[in-house]
Structure 1
Amino acid sequence: MELGMSKEYLTNKEAAKRVLEEAGTPLKYRDIYRRARENGYLPPPDKEKRKTPAATLRTEMGRHEDIFVRISTSTYALVEWGLHKQETKTDELLLKSTSDSGRVDIVQKSLELVTQKKQIILFGPPGTSKTWYAKIIGMRLASTIDGVEKSTKFRDASWIDDHLEIVQFHPSYSYDG
């Protein structure tokens, strides 16, 4: 390159498309940006701008639904790969102090949801049995998967600790990758 000539960079759209084509697999938008920078497709970040370059790339990818498809919260793929947008339908179960029959209904509905969606979030104020529901749902699922018979094993804390993992998170945090 001759002195005084500036390097020509790709647009965000072109850079993201090229990175995804090279990777051949869906990537998180931050990884797309990082690879585009490493490969020289995008200019160095402008320190004066308020919005991060990765966030700008993500916004622009969202505007080109004919090229990019968001398959999860922060992961993108190319439409031509035939992948589809993640379904984000939410079914809510009201967790509150309920009678025994109400608890059975909640457990049954939760089992139906988790077999369809593979994951559920139990949300509710303190003291509404979220942990109890999580353990019961996990044990019921484990009994169908592991062939474990409904027995006193379900009431055994060591069996629960060995076979289930319950994750607690705070709803005000961001979970974008």
Structure 2
Amino acid sequence: MSAWGAGLITAALGAGAIITTGSGVAARGLGVGAVVLGLAALVWGAAVLSAGRLVTPRAALAGSLVSLFAVFALMFAAPARTSIVAVAAASFLLVVVGATTAVHLRRQRRAAAPARTAKPMSVIGLLVAAAFIAVVVTPALGATQNAVLLRDDGTVPVITHEGH
């Protein structure tokens, strides 16, 4: 679940860097990388949920670290159009994914320890995790949109959906 949240925010930050007027080559390049990393996190999260265990933990750990670097780099490449709330939320979720995979890898290295089988997550556990992720991710995505739409005078336009 954390990978899905981090992936959504990372992809949103990347998309914002790509479409923002006045973004330089570095910001757009980081944006493309962030979108790819965000989509990869979404796919990895689905694979983990489907398998019921961590799949490719080394790649996931590397992806978490690269994604963490990418969101921080975006903050410095396009500071006026990158939401600090989104960067903080993505960083938190990426650290959760990275720490989980690091602990998993550490346990795998212990040759003397018996192999653990993962317990399936209960429906209540999934609902709690989904609610927590929604509470973290939804404001971060809103802040990302506001940062991208920010006008030069510091205001954000109100988008109405009349007639829909």
Q: TM-score range by the shorter chain?
A: under 0.3
Query: Could you say which structure has the higher strand fraction?
Result: 1
Query: Could you say which structure has the higher helix fraction?
Result: 2
Q: Tell me which of the two structures has the higher relative contact order, counting C-alpha pairs closer than 8 angstroms and 6 or more residues apart.
A: 2
What is the TM-score when the length of structure 2 is the normalising length? 0.23
